Amino acid sequence: MLRRIGEGEWAVGTKLPGETTLAAQLGVGRSTIREAIRALSAGGVLVSRQGSGVFVTATALAQDWGQALAAAQLSWVIEARIAIEVEASALAADRRTDEDLAAMEAALRERGLATRTLGEHVEADVRFHRSIVLASANPLLLELFDALAPRNREAMESMLKARGDFGQQGDQETHSGILDAILTGDGTLAAQRTRDHLLALVSAAG
């Protein structure tokens, strides 16, 4: 999407096609389109206007942020996730609503079923972690998570390709443990389990 914007297909001020149309054009799911829109909005390229649609506001990401993401090592990406997601898990345990709980449980189930392809698995993993950040009821944490998500997906795919496996039962149980702590309202345990999970990724990344 960013390349097409940069090449002038969608000029500044232009309204983007709807999610269904974009998904068909780009060969991805609507959830991927929504995440791309969130990331580009965080980078100042798009703006969502309620009731009107999504509009182009710039042709490139802010230079410093785009360069930082592109150059970020895997370990840096995971460390940034720790900074965002550990606190988000603690807040989610205290602030989650019934709707949040249902969304997190559904995302966890989807993650457990997403074992056919690496891309499908990583996307489902991102959706699960995002559901926790959303439940934290902190819009800034959510904005930071969304801005990092595209680079995080690339980093996770690279790591899992190198490792040679994904979607293992033990990994799913780790994520289930994080959710269990949130469900019981134990913010300290939710934060610790999130930190342990992400630190293990740092170790795996070398």
Asked if the model's pLDDT at residue 146 lies above 70, the reply is: yes
Do 49 and 143 share a structural domain? no
121 and 195, same domain (yes or no): yes
In a domain, 100, yes or no: yes
Average confidence (pLDDT) over 97-102 = 96
CA angle 157, 132, 66 (to 5 degrees): 50
- Give the range of the structural domain holding residue 16, as residue numbers without chain letter: 2-56
Instruction: For residues 121 and 109, give the distance between their C-alpha atoms in angstroms, rounded to a whole number.
Output: 12
Residue 95 in domain: yes
Averaged pLDDT for residues 44-66: 79
Is the domain of 164 the same as that of 92?
A: yes
Degrees (nearest 5) of the Cα angle 99, 19, 120? 70
Shared-domain flag, residues 149 and 96: yes
d(CA 184, CA 192): 14
Residues 98 and 27 in one domain: no
Residue 138: how many CA atoms within 13 Å on its side-chain side?
20
My answer on whether 100 and 194 are in the same domain is yes
pLDDT tens-place string over residues 74-85: 777 888 899 999
Would you say the pTM of this structure is higher than 0.75?
Answer: no
52/80 same-domain check = no
122 and 43 fall within a common domain: no
